[in-house]
Structure 1
Amino acid sequence: MTDIQLFLAHADDHRPILDEGLPLVATLDAPAQGAPPEALHRLANVHAPPDALPEQRWALVAPKGPAGDRLLSLLEPLRKKREEEQGEDALVYRVDPGMDPVAVAAWIQKEYRDAVGRREAARPRYLLLLGGPELISWDFQQMLGGEVFVGRLAFRDDRGYEAYVDKAVRWADATEAPRARTLYHAVLDGTRAMVEGDRHLVRPSLEMARQGQAAGTFGAEEIVEVPTDPAGTALDLSSAAGVLLREAARTRAGVLFTMSHGAGIPRAGWRSREEQHAHQGAMVLGRKGDLLTANDISRGPFLPGGVWFMFACYGAGTPSRSAYLPWLSRLHELGVIGNAADGVLAALPQRGDPPFIAALPQAALANPEGPLGVVGHVDLAWTWSFLDYDLESGGLVPKSRAERFQGILQAFVHGHRFGVAHHEIARFFRSVSTELTISYEERAHRASLSSDFVEEQASRVRRANLWMQRQDLAAYVLLGDPAARLPIARCPAGIRHAAPAGAASRGTEESVRREDAVLAVLRGTATAATVASRFGVSREEVERWVGIFVDAGRAALGRMT
Structure 2
Amino acid sequence: MPDDDTICLNGINALTGEYLVAPLTVEEAGRRAAGGAAPTAERAGWLRRLAKKLTGKFFGLPADVDPTDLAQAGWGVVFAKETPEDVRAALKPLLDRRAGQAGPLFRALELLPGETREAWLARHKVHGSDVNPAAVPYYLLLVGTPEQIPFEFQYLLDIDYAVGRVSFDDPADYGRYAAAVVASETAEAAPPAREVVYWGTRHPMDRATQLSADKLIAPLAGAGTTDPTVAEKYGFRTRSFRAADATKANLRAALDARPALLFTASHGMGGWPKGDPRQRPASGALLCQDWPGYGAVSADHYLAAADLGPDTRLDGTIAVVFACYGAGTPRYDPFLTAPAGGPVEVAEAPFVSALGQRLLAAGALAVVGHIDRAWGYSLEAKGAGAQIQPFRNMLARVLRGDPVGQGTIDFSQRFATYSAELLNRLDPTAPGARSAADPKLAQAWVERNDAQSYVVLGDPAVRVRKDGA
TM-score of the superposed pair, with normalisation by structure 1:
0.71
- Given that 2:425 and 2:434 are in contact with CA atoms closer than 8 Å, whether structure 1 keeps it comes out as no
Matched AA of 1:185: W
Which structure has the larger Rg? 1
In structure 2, the CA distance between the partners of 1:387 and 1:330, relative to structure 1 (3 Å rule), is: farther
Q: How many residues align?
A: 439
Task: Map residues 107-256 of structure 1 onto 2, 5 A cutoff.
Answer: 107-111=120-124, 113=126, 121-174=134-187, 180-190=194-204, 191-207=206-222, 213=228, 218-229=233-244, 240-252=247-259, 254-256=260-262
Question: 1:305/1:217 Cα in 2 relative to 1: closer, same or farther (>3 Å)?
Answer: closer
Provide structure 2 residue ranges, at least 5 long, that are not aligned to the other structure: 54-58, 293-299
Q: 2:295 maps to which residue?
A: none
Match of 1:277 in 2: 280
Equivalent residue number for residue 444 of structure 2: 466
Paired amino acid for 2:464: L
Q: Give the counterpart letter for 1:465 in structure 2.
A: Q
Q: Which has the higher contact order (CA 8 A, sep 6+)?
A: 2
Instruction: Kindly report the root-mean-square deviation, in angstroms, between the aligned alpha carbons of the 2 structures.
Output: 3.3
CA positional deviation for 1:27:
1.3
Residue 257 of structure 1 is matched in structure 2 by 263
Query: For residues 49-76 of structure 1, what are the alpha-carbon distances to aligned partners after superposition, in whole Å with 9 as ceiling and x for unaligned?
Result: 11100000100100113x2544322211
Contact 1:310 1:374 in 2 (8 A): yes
2:76 equivalent to 1:76: no
- Aligned residue number for residue 314 of structure 1: 325
Structure 2 counterpart of 1:60: 77
Superposed displacement of residue 387, structure 1: 3.0
Letter in 1 for 2:7: I
Q: Secondary structure at the match of 1:4?
A: coil
SS of the aligned residue for 1:30 comes to helix
Unaligned runs of 5+ in 1: 334-344, 390-396, 447-452, 491-561
Summarize deviations over 1:478-503 as a string: whole Å, max 9, x none: 0000011112259xxxxxxxxxxxxx
The whole-number CA distance in structure 2 between the counterparts of 1:384 and 1:37 is: 28
Asked if residue 432 in structure 1 is aligned to residue 428 in structure 2, the reply is: no
State the secondary structure of the residue aligned to 1:181: strand
Q: Aligned to 1:274, what secondary structure does the other structure show? A: coil
Comparing 458-467 with 352-361, which one deviates more in the overlay? 458-467
Going from structure 1 to structure 2, the CA distance change for 1:277 and 1:61 (only over 3 Å counts) comes to same
Residues 282-303 of structure 1 show CA distances to partners (whole Å, capped at 9, x for unaligned) of 1112434512010112434454
Structure 1 stretch 211-220 or stretch 400-409: which is displaced more? 211-220
CA spacing shift, 1:298–1:483, aligned 2, 3 Å: farther
* SS of aligned partner of 1:200: helix
- Cα deviations by residue, 1:363-387 (Å, 9 ceiling, x for unpaired): 11011xx311001111122224423
| CA–CA separation in structure 2 for the residues paired with 1:82 and 1:245 | 32
1:342 is aligned to none
> 2:297 aligns to what?
none
59, 64, 67: which one aligns with 1:47: 64
Indicate the residue corresponding to 2:459 in structure 1: 481
Which amino acid is the alignment partner of residue 253 of structure 2?
R
> What is the CA distance between 1:477 and its match in structure 2?
0.5
Assess, with a 3 A threshold, how the Cα gap between structure 1 residues 156 and 430 changes in structure 2: closer, same or farther.
same
State the alpha-carbon separation in 2 of the partners of residues 29 and 121 from structure 1. Answer: 45
SS of 1:185 mapped into structure 2: strand
Match of 1:377 in 2: 370
Per mean C-alpha deviation after superposition, the further-off stretch among 30-39 and 294-303 is 30-39
Q: Which amino acid aligns with 1:425?
A: F
1:366-425 deviation digits (Å, cap 9, x = unpaired): 11xx31100111112222442334xxxxxxx46421112121122221111111112232
Q: Deviations over 1:160-183 (max 9, x none)?
A: 101100001111133966994111
TM-score, with normalisation over the residues of structure 2? 0.83
- Contact 2:425 2:441 survives alignment (8 Å): yes
1:400 equivalent in alignment to 2:411: no
Distance in 2, matches of 1:70 and 1:177, equals 29
Which one has the bigger helix percentage?
1
